[in-house]
Amino acid sequence: MITLSDVSKQYAGGVTALSGITLGIAYGELVAIVGPSGSGKSTMLNMLGTLDRPSAGVVHVDGYDVAGLSDAKLSALRARRIGFVFQQFHLAPGTAALDNVADGLLYTGLRHHDRRKRAEAALRRVGLGHRMHHRPHAMSGGERQRVAIARAVAGDPPLLLADEPTGALDTASGAGVMTLLRELHASGTTVVIITHDREIAASLPRQVSMRDGRVTADSLLEAAAP
């Protein structure tokens, strides 16, 4: 699903956010990318999600070389192949859950009726069939995150990137969201969770640890070592 080959990212002022990252994530994996603040996790998310281009190295996502795609083709790749879930939900406050999810499909080319039909199915999939006409202010934090997940998966993308998906939630709501992400993985979605929470990371099949813009450990490679 994802291959990073000797990827680095430098920003203005000589700031190096990523340095020599080589990483592969297979179709159908459930992976945690874990590290403290400033370790490069957010930049890594941008690379995995094609939100940014590397300064050096090669990024392939679902068979596509990111460097060879125009901005329009990158947008199309994200719209059809990648779902994003963020810590702060990013829901339109005065808009019902159904329309928040349907609006996430605007760039897929689907007709209005089909977008709403998919949105309804996605909300039922995350257990919110009874809340689809509620606005975010009338929902709990856990419910709002479920709306955000429904929006991310409504287009049935093969890759789901979740950036600190439990960071704004209480323990019980966070556990519910993690259960949902595991269920999505079990249904065939490749799920990558970016987190600083080592307890969450340890509960997942694979952990990739980062510090100072580098991968410092990978449980998959460690398990394969003699």
Measured distance CA(194)–CA(208) in Å, rounded: 10
Position 226 scores a pLDDT of: 66
pLDDT tens-digit readout, 123-173? 999 999 999 999 999 999 999 999 999 999 999 999 999 999 998 889 999
What's 195's domain CATH number?
Answer: 3.40.50.300
Count the Cβ atoms, other than its own, within 10 Å of residue 138: 12
pLDDT tier at 64 (50, 70, 90 boundaries)?
A: very high
Strand 2-11 relative to strand 56-61: parallel, antiparallel, unpaired? antiparallel
Rounded mean pLDDT of 196-203? 93
Measured distance CA(167)–CA(153) in Å, rounded: 20
Total structural domains in the chain?
Answer: 1
The beta-strand segments (E) located in 50-167 are 56-61, 64-65, 82-86, 159-163
pLDDT tier at 106 (50, 70, 90 boundaries)?
A: confident
Q: Residue 29: is its pLDDT beyond 80?
A: yes
Rounded mean pLDDT of 181-195? 95
Rounded mean pLDDT of 211-224? 90
Q: Residue 225: is its pLDDT beyond 70?
A: no
What percent of the chain shows pLDDT beyond 70? 99
Position 98 scores a pLDDT of: 97
Position 145 scores a pLDDT of: 92
Position 19 scores a pLDDT of: 96
The residue range of the domain holding 150 is 2-224
pTM of full prediction above 0.85? yes
